[in-house]
C-alpha cells in the first residue's frame, strides 16, 4: 500500500518512536514536583521545549505545548483577540486558511466581532497588498497560513508580516504544513503547528506567542504551560514531537529536493496521461511533497475508492467526497475545478517506484470512473435560442458531463442553460468553461435550483 496522504498525517518518524518509548519509562512523573522522578520529568520537558524553540526560531519561554494543533489555533486566536480588545474587534484572515482558523473567526463573529476574509489568486496565494488594504485602526489580529494544506501553495508570510508590523497588528501564522521543512520567515507575532504533520505523535501542538504581544488566556487555566494549556502534559508525546521535529529538519533539505522532483513529475505527466485535467496550486512557490489536480467528469468519492483498491491512499477536496455536498472552501476560493479532485501528498521516504506505479494506474482508473458516469443521457430542450439542460437532482460531476455532451450541438454564439441544485456546479461549470475555451455568462435564479448560462465560442 502506498500512503500518499502525508498532509493529513505523516507516518510516525523512527526517532519519534524511539523517543516516545524512552520517555514512557523516564517521563511519567509530574514535572511540577520536586522529588527525583519529578525533576527527571522536568528535565525532559525543558529539553523538549528548548529543542522545539530552536526549530521554530523563538525563545523557549515563548513556546507552549498544547493538546493539538487545532487547540493551539483556537487558543492563539482567542487569546490575541482578547489581549487587544481595547484596540478593536476586527480580524483579518485569508479565504484559504485551515478550518480551525476559520472556525475561530466564526466564533469571534458570532460574539460581535468583524471579520475580513481576503480573496486569493487562482494559484491559492494571497497578495500582501490585500492585507495592507484591509488593516483598519480597530484591527486586533491578522492570520495567514505559511503554506496551504490542500494545494501546497506557499504564502508570502514575510511580506504580510512586514505590512502587519508597520501597522502595529500582530500576525498569527498557522505553520502546520511547513514547519517540518523550515522555519517560518518574517517578523510574525504568533505561530501554531501540529506534531502529526511532521512525523511526531498526534495529540501535540505548538503555540508560540512572542514577547511583547498582548495576550489574554480565555477560559479556565492553571499553572501549567504558562496557563495557556491547562492540564497534565503528555510528556512522552511532547518529547517525541520535539525529537522528531529536530530529526526531520536535519533531513529536510535533501528530502525536499527529492520530493520536489517527484511532485514535478506528477504535475507534468498527469495532464499528458489523463485528458481534461486541471493541476491546481502555484507551480513554483509550493511545498515539496504536495500536488493536487482535478479531473472533469469524475466522481471524487468513486475515484478515491478505486485508487484505494489499486493500493494508493490519497485525499480529495471534491464535494463528491463530502457529507455536506459542498466543495472544499480552498478550491472554491481559488475558483478552480473541484470535481474529481485528488491531493497527492508524499511522505518523507516515498519511493520513486510507487510514484511511477501511480502514474501507470491513474489513467485507467479515471477512464473507468468516467465510463460508469457517462451513461446517463442529458435531458435537453430548446427554449427560444437557448438549449436547456435539466440536471436537477444530479450531483457532481453529472451537471458538467451533461453540459459537455450538448455544447457541441448548439451553434457558435449559441447558449446552454444548465439547471442544477448542486452547490458544486457553481464552481465547476465556470471552471469547465475556462478549461474548454467556452464563455461562462453567469447564473440566475430558476423555478427550481439555479440556472447556469454558458455561451459556445469555439
Grid coordinates of 413: 454564439
Residue pair 310/300 in contact (Cβ under 8 Å)? The answer is no
Query: For residue 323, how far is the Cα from the chain centroid?
Result: 18
- 344 SS3 class: strand
> Burial level of 65, CB count in 10 A (0-12/13-18/19+)?
buried
Asked if residue 309 has a cis previous peptide bond (ω within 30° of 0), the answer is no
Please pick, among 143, 164, 295, 320, the residue that the annotation labels catalytic. Answer: 320
Q: Which H or E run contains 345?
A: strand 341-345
CA distance 164 to 371: 51
- 136 SS3 class: coil
Residue pair 316/307 in contact (Cβ under 8 Å)? The answer is no
Q: Within a 10 A sphere around the Cβ of 316, how many other Cβ atoms?
A: 24
Grid coordinates of 82: 482578547
58 counts as catalytic: no
CA distance 167 to 340: 42
What string of H, E and C letters represents the secondary structure of 398-422? HHHHHHHHHHHHCCCCCEEEEEECC
Which residues are tagged catalytic? 320
Amino acid at each position: 500500500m502506498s500512503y500518499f496522504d502525508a498532509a493529513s498525517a505523516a507516518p510516525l518518524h523512527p526517532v519519534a518512536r524511539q523517543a516516545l518509548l524512552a520517555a514512557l519509562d523516564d517521563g511519567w512523573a509530574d514535572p511540577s514536583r520536586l522529588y527525583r522522578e519529578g525533576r527527571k520529568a522536568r528535565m525532559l520537558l525543558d529539553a523538549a521545549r528548548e529543542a522545539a524553540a530552536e526549530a521554530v526560531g523563538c525563545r523557549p519561554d515563548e513556546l507552549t505545548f498544547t493538546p493539538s494543533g487545532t487547540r493551539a489555533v483556537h487558543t492563539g486566536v482567542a487569546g490575541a483577540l482578547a489581549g487587544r480588545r481595547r484596540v478593536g474587534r476586527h480580524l483579518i484572515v485569508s479565504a484559504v486558511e485551515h478550518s480551525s482558523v476559520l472556525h475561530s473567526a466564526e466564533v469571534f463573529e458570532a460574539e460581535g466581532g468583524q471579520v475580513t476574509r481576503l480573496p486569493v489568486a487562482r494559484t491559492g496565494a494571497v497578495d500582501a497588498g490585500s492585507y495592507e488594504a484591509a488593516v483598519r485602526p480597530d484591527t486586533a489580529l491578522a492570520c495567514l497560513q505559511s503554506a496551504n494544506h490542500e494545494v501546497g501553495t506557499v504564502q508570502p508570510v514575510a511580506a504580510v508580516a512586514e505590512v502587519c508590523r508597520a501597522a502595529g497588528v500582530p500576525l498569527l501564522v498557522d505553520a502546520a504544513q511547513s514547519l517540518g521543512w523550515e522555519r517560518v520567515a518574517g517578523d510574525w507575532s504568533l505561530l501554531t503547528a501540529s506534531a502529526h504533520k511532521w512525523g511526531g505523535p498526534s495529540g501535540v501542538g505548538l503555540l508560540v506567542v512572542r514577547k511583547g504581544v498582548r495576550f489574554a488566556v480565555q477560559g479556565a487555566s492553571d499553572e501549567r504551560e504558562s496557563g495557556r494549556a491547562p492540564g497534565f502534559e503528555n510528556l512522552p508525546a511532547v518529547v517525541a514531537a520535539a525529537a522528531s521535529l529536530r530529526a526531520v529538519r536535519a533531513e529536510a533539505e535533501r528530502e525536499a529536493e527529492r520530493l520536489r522532483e517527484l511532485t514535478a513529475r506528477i504535475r507534468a505527466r498527469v495532464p499528458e496521461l489523463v485528458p481534461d485535467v486541471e493541476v491546481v496550486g502555484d507551480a513554483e512557490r509550493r511545498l515539496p511533497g504536495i500536488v493536487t489536480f482535478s479531473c472533469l467528469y469524475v466522481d471524487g468519492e468513486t475515484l478515491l475508492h478505486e485508487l484505494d483498491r489499486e493500493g494508493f491512499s490519497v485525499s480529495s477536496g471534491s464535494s463528491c467526497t463530502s457529507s455536506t455536498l459542498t466543495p472544499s472552501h480552498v478550491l472554491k476560493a481559488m475558483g478552480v475545478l473541484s470535481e474529481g479532485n485528488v491531493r497527492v501528498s508524499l511522505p518523507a521516504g516515498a519511493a520513486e517506484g510507487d510514484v511511477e506505479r501511480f502514474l501507470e494506474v491513474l489513467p485507467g482508473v479515471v477512464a473507468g470512473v468516467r465510463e460508469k458516469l457517462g451513461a446517463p443521457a442529458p435531458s435537453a430542450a430548446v427554449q427560444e435560442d437557448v438549449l436547456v439542460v435539466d440536471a436537477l437532482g444530479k450531483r457532481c460531476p453529472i451537471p458538467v458531463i451533461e453540459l459537455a455532451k450538448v455544447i457541441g450541438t448548439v451553434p457558435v454564439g449559441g447558449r446552454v442553460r444548465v439547471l442544477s441544485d448542486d452547490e458544486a456546479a457553481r464552481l465547476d461549470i465556470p471552471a469547465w468553461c475556462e478549461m474548454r475555451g467556452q464563455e461562462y455568462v453567469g447564473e440566475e435564479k430558476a423555478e427550481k435550483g439555479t440556472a447556469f448560462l454558458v455561451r459556445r465560442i469555439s
